[in-house]
Structures are given as C-alpha cells and as structure tokens.
C-alpha cells in the first residue's frame, strides 16, 4: 500500500517533468527515521536536470503531490527532500474494507492472465516406494500451482511418473529370478522394493545381472508382450500407493503421462537431431555435444535403449505443442541440475527459441537425522508412514489440550498434514531440510499447527459477535501495533505475486509467520472484544481481516484452516 503510493508519486512527478520536456528519474525512499515521515522524495536529480533553484523545484513538486488526492496526511519540505506522512486512517479503512468484502478472493492478482504454465511435479518412480524424498516435489509443486492460479495463470499439472527405464529391466529380471506373485499381491510395494534392493545387492556381486536388466528393458521398448504385461501390473500396484498419499494430501493432477508415454514419441526427435547433424556416435552410443562446459547428452545407448534425457526431450516438445506453455516448471531436486541444463541446451541447439521458458524449480534434500533417505540401500522412509505418525502425534496433542473437541479424527488429520507440509514449505526450497517430526507438530514455534491455531484463536473471538465496520475508531490505526497488521494485510497480494514469480512458496509461508506473530503480539496487548463499541468494531474488523488472509495463505500452501482445534 505504501509501495503503491510511492509508485504513484514517482509516476506523477516523472510525467509532469516529461510533459515539460525533461527526462528525470525520480527515486522515492523510505526515511530511516520514521519520525521524518513514511515516504521521502529527494529532489537533487531534478535540480541537476532542470537547472532551476532548489526551493522553486521543491515547492513545485510539493504542490503536484498535494493536488493529486493521494491518501497523504501531511507533507513538508526539508532541504532537498519532500517528506510525507501517509494517512493511516483513510488507508487502513480502505484496505480492511477491501479485505472484508473480497473474503477468500482477497489477494487475487491478474499478472498471469492469459498465460499458460505447465508444471511437472511429484513424479515418483514406479516400483519403488513413494519415499519422503518425493514429498518436497509434491508439496512444492502443488503450492506453486495454487499460487499461480491465484495470480490468474492457466496451469496444467503433470505427474510425470518414472514408469520407464532400465530400472524396469531390473524389476523384471528380479521378479523372474526371485519373485512370487502371491507374495507380491499381499503387499506389493514393500515386496517389489525388497526385490529391487535384492537386485542391487546381487548385482554388486554379479555385474552380468545389469546386462540382463538392460536387455530386458530393450525388450520392453520393443514391446515384448510378457514384459509389458508385467510392467503394467507393477505400474498399477505402485500407483495405488501413490494415490493413497495424494488422497490424504488432496493433491490432484491434470495428467499422469509418465516416461512410458513417450516411448513412441522419441524416434522423430532422434531423427530431427540427426537431420540437424547434432547426433554422433561415441563408442557405439549416440550423443550430442553441448560444448566445453557441460558433458554431452547421451541420447541412445549402444544397445539402442533410450535414456531419461531422451524421454524428457520428447516430452518437452510434446508439451509445448499440446499445452502451449509460456513457462514449464520442473519441480525436481538439486541433483538433477545438470540434466535440466542439458535439456535446455538441446532445445537451443535444435534451433528453437523457447529454452528460457524451461525452468528447473530445484529443491534440496530431505534429511532425517542428518541422513538422506534412499530406497536403494533399503532404509526406506515411507511418506505415508511419516504422515500417519504426524497425524497420531497431532491427535494426542489435541486430545490433551481440548479433550471435548468433536471431529478429533478429521482435525488431527489436517493438523498432522499441516505439520509436515509447513515444515517443508517454510524453508527456501533450494536448501536441504533436516526434518524433526515432534518439532513440526507443535502448536508453538514456526509450525503449520501454530498458524492453524492462530486462525482458530481468531475464530473463537469472532464467534457469536457482530461488528459494524461503519462505526469504527479510525484513529486507532495511528497506533503501531494496529497499523503493522494493516500493512501486512495490504501486502498479501504483492507477496503472492513475488512467490509466483520466484516459484517460491516459502515467501508465502514466511509472510504468514510474520502475520501470525504480529497478530499474537496485538492480542497480547489489546482486549479485542473491548467494551467500547467503536474500539470493539475496529478490533474485530482487523482480526477478521487477519483471519481471511491467514486462511487463504494456508490454502495456497496446501493446508486446511480450522475453526476449532
Ligand atoms: N522420476 C524422477 C525422479 O524421481 C523425476 C522426474 C522429474 N521430471 C522430469 N520431467 N524429469 O528422479
């Protein structure tokens, strides 16, 4: 809001000088000492360009700002500066009214109107357990999607299942050697995981198993019916496990076209690479050189098998054509940085101009007790189990704090999920996270449940009381703890836009923590349900606005708000 006024002053003055034939760039500042004002405009640059005496220039500018009917309460010149105090009463009333009227639509933006963003996230590897490592992609991707939608973008969400590649050759070899259908049917994913682990253990002793696996995969690419049936079965069973998690987290996708979908779409791309003389042979394999700074992209194995990058290359062209994206976001871990650099370079080399629309939305590792979770070595951390543990912990906490609460199961579910999701999204996505479940579920500290609890606290204040926004005490907004809350409420939209531009849910998460902290500070010094009617109306309107923003902000992170907990 103050940003908006600054922007208007800048435009106003620049336009005025322009109309008089001068190009001046105006810098509008915030004074270090708030006693001087909320906004300050230094006029040195103008003096330099116009070559008129300072007092005359300052006087002129002062009048222009004065006549512009901006919400400004007081302005005066101090030397070469014009210092302004915004009208906190008028501004606050305007902002809160807008928030109260718009409700959950408050903060909506149209920066994305008419633009398409394709998102590629979650994308677990079939036949492996849905590990906690995929949580980050799922939650970050889902939140980015919600944030983009709020900004008016058309989104298309793809779960690019890792359902193709040599690992399926491995599964098939392992299944045929050691597998048992009945045993697998009983508990598909853990049995398949066991087989996968066993394959790696055995292959360390006997590397010829890897050759068998490569051959099996090649057979799949050639549509060997027995292998494809087996693959289909494994894929379906694996998807059931992922679906459990998506249901719990309320995550949905517009497409589940995974790597296998591109099996028949790679040949034309390989042909195009050939025709453009980009592809050449190297020790029997086909590669594309990408220059000195980056290793070549391996497009075809010596045995003819395709690779991860080959499928991604086919996918990006398919998606460009199909979804006409202005941007495509790949929400994938840091360890695949090189992969996406190669993908962009390949698109460049092929002579297309959209490689800058390809964005690797990278993220760090998920550590538990300082260690990386991995399926290969067998120390599987199942996301579903972690979620259930969080829900159980939440249930215990709730029962202790509020034994008579109804719907404890549902509430515990939402609180547990909030704990896990927020523990992830509050961090800048590029960093590694060390995750501590007991910490994450707590109702205090920087947690999801803390934000839910703050919202619940406001809900209980608002319960069964009415307020009239036409009868408030505007002068209260001059007080710092009031105006701080109004300022935060007013910054909701620009915060969301920033998060959208940077594909960074943590910007929203941190903002919500600030908002909740400021509210709780407010709550500790003001009796919200005050006996004075006007004061009460003001406080309740402010509290309700904070709740609107909190709830909507939580939604954008993929977290439910609650009325009770
Ligand atoms: N399935 C991959 C993995 O778990 C992630 C896929 C990411 N998306 C992509 N288009 N490459 O490592």
Q: Which of 59, 86, 113 is the last residue of a domain?
A: 86
Confidence of residue 370 (pLDDT cuts 50, 70, 90): low
Q: What is the pLDDT of residue 409?
A: 96
Using most ligand atoms within 8 A of CB, pick from 157, 262, 332, 334 the residue to mutate for ligand 1. 332
Report the relative pairing of strands 279-282 and 433-435 from DSSP bridges.
Answer: unpaired
Mean pLDDT value of segment 406-430: 96
Q: Which of 251, 283, 302 is the last residue of a domain?
A: 302
**Spatial distance between the Cα atoms of 510 and 519, rounded to a whole number of angstroms:** 14
Q: Which positions ≥6 away from 19 have C-beta within 8 Å?
A: none
Rounded to the nearest whole angstrom, what is the distance from the C-alpha of residue 506 to the centroid of ligand 1?
Answer: 22
Rounded to the nearest whole angstrom, what is the distance from the C-alpha of residue 122 to the centroid of ligand 1?
Answer: 8
Rounded to the nearest whole angstrom, what is the distance from the C-alpha of residue 123 to the centroid of ligand 1?
Answer: 5
Using most ligand atoms within 8 A of CB, pick from 336, 344, 361 the residue to mutate for ligand 1. 336
Structure tokens at 74: 């007081």
Residue 390 belongs to a domain: no
**Spatial distance between the Cα atoms of 225 and 102, rounded to a whole number of angstroms:** 57
Are the C-beta atoms of residues 494 and 3 closer than 8 Å to each other? yes
Q: Which of 456, 467, 463, 438 is nearest to 520 (CA)?
A: 456
Rounded to the nearest whole angstrom, what is the distance from the C-alpha of residue 512 to the centroid of ligand 1?
Answer: 30
How many domains are contained in the chain? Answer: 3
**Spatial distance between the Cα atoms of 375 and 491, rounded to a whole number of angstroms:** 43
Confidence of residue 379 (pLDDT cuts 50, 70, 90): very low
What is the span of the domain harbouring residue 298? 274-302
Q: Which positions ≥6 away from 388 have C-beta within 8 Å?
A: 416
pLDDT higher than threshold 80 for residue 98? yes
Rounded to the nearest whole angstrom, what is the distance from the C-alpha of residue 302 to the centroid of ligand 1?
Answer: 23
pLDDT higher than threshold 80 for residue 158? yes
- Report which of residues 241 and 374 the model is more confident about: 241
Binding site membership of 422 for ligand 1 (Cβ less than 6 Å): no
Residue 172 belongs to a domain: yes
Rounded to the nearest whole angstrom, what is the distance from the C-alpha of residue 129 to the centroid of ligand 1?
Answer: 15
Residue 74 belongs to a domain: yes
pLDDT higher than threshold 80 for residue 371? no
pLDDT higher than threshold 90 for residue 323? yes
Residues of the chain above pLDDT 90, percent: 82
Rounded to the nearest whole angstrom, what is the distance from the C-alpha of residue 545 to the centroid of ligand 1?
Answer: 40
**Spatial distance between the Cα atoms of 464 and 397, rounded to a whole number of angstroms:** 27
The mean pLDDT value of the chain amounts to: 93
Look at ligand 1, atom 5, and give the residue with the nearest C-alpha.
123
Q: Which of 31, 53, 86 is the last residue of a domain?
A: 86
**Spatial distance between the Cα atoms of 529 and 478, rounded to a whole number of angstroms:** 19
Q: What is the pLDDT of residue 106?
A: 98
Binding site membership of 162 for ligand 1 (Cβ less than 6 Å): yes
Rounded to the nearest whole angstrom, what is the distance from the C-alpha of residue 278 to the centroid of ligand 1?
Answer: 25
Are the C-beta atoms of residues 119 and 155 closer than 8 Å to each other? yes
Q: What ligand 1 atom has the least distance to the C-alpha of 336?
A: 12
Residue 171 belongs to a domain: yes
Residue 449 belongs to a domain: no
**Spatial distance between the Cα atoms of 31 and 62, rounded to a whole number of angstroms:** 17
Are the C-beta atoms of residues 536 and 529 closer than 8 Å to each other? yes
pLDDT higher than threshold 70 for residue 429? yes
Structure tokens at 164: 């193709």
Residue 39 is part of a domain; what is its CATH number? 3.30.1360.70
Binding site membership of 184 for ligand 1 (Cβ less than 6 Å): no
pLDDT higher than threshold 60 for residue 377? no
pLDDT per position as a tens digit, 117-143 = 999 999 998 877 787 778 899 999 999
Q: What is the pLDDT of residue 434?
A: 83
Confidence of residue 112 (pLDDT cuts 50, 70, 90): very high
DSSP 294-316: SPPEEEE-TTS-B-HHHHHHHHH
Structure tokens at 377: 């070595």
- Tell me which H or E stretch contains 87: none
Binding site membership of 120 for ligand 1 (Cβ less than 6 Å): yes
Q: Which of 51, 74, 64 is nearest to 13 (CA)?
A: 64
Mean pLDDT value of segment 442-463: 96
Look at ligand 1, atom 11, and give the residue with the nearest C-alpha.
312
Structure tokens at 245: 């998690």
pLDDT per position as a tens digit, 4-25 = 899 999 999 999 999 999 999 9
């Amino acid at each position: 809001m103050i940003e908006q006024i600054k922007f208007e002053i800048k435009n106003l003055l620049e336009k005025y000088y322009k109309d008089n034939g001068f190009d001046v760039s105006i810098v509008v500042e915030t004074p270090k000492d708030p006693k001087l004002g909320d906004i300050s405009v230094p006029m040195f640059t103008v003096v330099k360009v116009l070559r008129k005496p300072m007092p005359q220039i300052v006087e002129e500018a002062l009048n222009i700002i004065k006549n512009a009917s901006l919400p400004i309460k007081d302005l005066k010149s101090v030397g070469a500066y014009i210092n302004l105090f915004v009208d906190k009463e008028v501004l606050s009333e305007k902002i809160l009214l807008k928030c109260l009227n718009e409700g959950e639509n408050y903060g909506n933006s149209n920066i994305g109107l008419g633009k398409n963003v394709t998102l590629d996230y979650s994308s677990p590897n079939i036949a492996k357990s849905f590990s906690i490592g995929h949580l980050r992609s799922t939650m970050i991707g889902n939140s980015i999607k919600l944030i983009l939608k709020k900004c008016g973008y058309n989104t298309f969400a793809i779960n690019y299942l890792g359902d193709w590649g040599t690992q399926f050759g491995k599964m098939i070899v392992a299944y045929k050697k050691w597998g048992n259908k009945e045993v697998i049917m009983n508990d598909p994913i853990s049995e398949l995981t066991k087989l996968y682990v066993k394959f790696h253990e055995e292959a360390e002793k006997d590397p010829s198993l890897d050759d068998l696996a490569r051959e099996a995969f090649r057979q799949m690419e050639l549509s060997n019916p027995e292998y494809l049936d087996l693959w289909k079965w494994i894929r379906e069973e694996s998807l059931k496990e992922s679906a459990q998690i998506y249901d719990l987290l309320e995550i949905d996708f517009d497409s589940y076209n995974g790597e296998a979908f591109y099996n028949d779409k790679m040949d034309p791309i390989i042909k195009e690479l050939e025709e453009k003389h980009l592809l050449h042979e190297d020790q029997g394999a086909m590669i594309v050189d990408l220059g000195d700074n980056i290793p070549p992209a391996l497009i075809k194995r010596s045995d003819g098998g395709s690779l991860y990058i080959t499928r991604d290359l086919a996918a990006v062209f398919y998606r460009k054509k199909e979804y006409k994206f202005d941007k495509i976001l790949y929400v994938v871990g840091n360890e695949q940085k090189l992969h996406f650099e190669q993908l962009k370079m390949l698109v460049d080399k092929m002579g297309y101009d959209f490689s800058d629309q390809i964005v690797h939305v990278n993220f760090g590792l998920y550590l538990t007790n300082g260690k990386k979770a991995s399926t290969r070595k067998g120390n599987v951390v199942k996301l579903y189990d972690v979620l259930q543990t969080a829900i159980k912990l939440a249930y215990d906490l709730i029962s202790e704090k509020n034994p008579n609460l109804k719907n404890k199961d549902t509430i515990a579910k939402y609180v547990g999920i909030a704990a896990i999701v927020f523990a992830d999204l509050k961090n800048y996505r590029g960093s590694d996270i060390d995750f501590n479940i007991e910490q994450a579920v707590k109702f205090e500290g920087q947690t999801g449940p803390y934000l839910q609890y703050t919202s619940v606290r406001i809900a209980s204040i608002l319960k069964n009381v009415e307020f009239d926004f036409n009868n408030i005490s505007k002068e209260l907004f001059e007080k710092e703890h009031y105006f701080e809350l109004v300022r935060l409420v007013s910054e909701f939209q620009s915060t969301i836009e920033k998060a959208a531009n940077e594909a960074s849910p943590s910007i929203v998460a941190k903002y919500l923590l600030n908002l909740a902290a400021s509210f709780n500070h407010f709550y500790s010094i003001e009796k919200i349900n005050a006996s004075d009617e006007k004061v009460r109306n003001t406080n309740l309107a402010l509290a309700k606005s904070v709740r609107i923003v909190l709830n909507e902000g939580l939604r954008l992170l993929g977290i439910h708000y609650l009325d009770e907990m």
